[in-house]
Structure 1
Amino acid sequence: MFKKMFGKKSVEEQLVAPLNGKVVPLDEVDDPVFSQRMMGDGVAIEPTDGKVVSPISGEIVQIFPTNHAVGVKTKSGVEVLVHIGLETVAMEGEGFEGHVKQGDKVEAGDHLITFDPDLVKEKAKSTITPVIITNFDDIVENFEPSYSDAASAGQTNIATLQTK
């Protein structure tokens, strides 16, 4: 009743794979910040290459100076973080190239970042890439991840969510 009175409606959002690779549960990420969902809930991808695309349409709300992570916010308010690899911030941007800036509008599948997977494997803990809804508890009513052994960047649905 409250939502109807003030015009706020629940919205269904689809997340597509931001990378080519294997989509796995966050439980498989060897980092408690992600596996224990301290930053929010989502999935992770074991990438097969270094091209990162937007998992959802919206606005770039954050691109880290090191280009190892990017945040996108949808019109409905869902905030999605793509964090390339584990402990990649220590690489200080080496091997990462950003293709967007804060404030840019993007569509699902638009190219965001390019990175060197071999260099990440050499210099960081892992290439596994968490895809996190950072405001999960505030906005998500229902979340259905879709795991895949061979997701295609910008095409394969990796999760469906319903906002509150």
Structure 2
Amino acid sequence: MFGLNRKKKAPSAEQITAPVRGTLLPMEKVPDPAFSGGLLGPGFAVDPADGTIVAPVAGTIVTVPDTRHAVGLRTPGGAELLIHVGVDTVTLKGEGFTARCAEGDSVEAGAVLLEVDLEAIRDRVPSLVTPVIVTNAGDLVVSEADLSAVFGQTVLRISAP
């Protein structure tokens, strides 16, 4: 009666895919101590095979720096993701990067966020390895990354505690 004996529905996990085609890597393999040491949060990385960066989940764009080397995305469930293309790419001051989204945009999973001319920047930065970080993981349950997933398949699951 009054729903007292009903089981509460467990919140569904948000499924995060890779934002770019390439080889999935654990965060420990990112050649930058801030990322590899988990200082910004848990996640995974991709050694990109092409320069089309897509939304790994539906959400709202919360940041696109002037240098266009990264994108911040908030999911409907409140997870905050940072997609950071390469290492030390901020020093390029936007050269080689084209933003296809803006702060405040609502995007669906798979929407193009950035286009990166990998060949133009490859020799100008230490690495093109692209971390995907859950920056507010302390408020969430984040699964272990499934590094065997292929492009389009779930790599991480994120849910409320």
TM beyond 0.5: yes
* Aligned residue in 2 for 1:12: 13
- Determine the structure 1 residue equivalent to 2:158: 161
For residues 84 and 142 of structure 2, the distance between their equivalents in structure 1, rounded to whole angstroms, comes to 23
Post-superposition Cα deviations, 1:99-131, rounded to whole Å, max 9, x if no partner, equal 000000001100000001112211111000000
Taking the TM superposition and a 5 Å limit, the aligned residue runs for 1:1-164 are: 10-139=11-140, 141-148=141-148, 151-152=150-151, 155-164=152-161
Matched to 1:40, the amino acid is G
Amino acid aligned to 1:156: Q
Q: Which has the larger share of strand?
A: 1
Aligned residue pairs total 154
- Normalized against structure 1, the TM-score is what? 0.88
**Partner Cα separation in structure 1 for residue 17 and residue 146 of structure 2:** 10
Q: 5+ unaligned residues in a row in structure 1: which ranges?
A: 1-6
CA 1:117–1:151 in 2, change beyond 3 Å: closer, same or farther?
farther
Report how far residue 17 of structure 1 moved. Answer: 1.1
Contact 2:77 2:159 in 1 (8 A): no
Aligned-partner Cα distance in 2 for 1:58–1:162? 15
Partner of 2:3: none
TM-score normalised to the size of structure 2?
0.90
Q: How high is the sequence identity, in percent, across the aligned residues?
A: 38
Q: Distance in 1 between matches of 2:160 and 2:46?
A: 23
Could you say what secondary structure the match of 2:143 adopts?
strand
Bigger Rg, which one: 2
2:5 counterpart residue number? none
Aligned CA distance change for structure 1 residues 119 and 151 (closer, same or farther; 3 Å): farther
Q: Which runs of 5+ in 2 are unaligned?
A: 1-7
Which stretches of structure 1, 4 residues or more, deviate above 2 A after TM superposition?
Answer: none
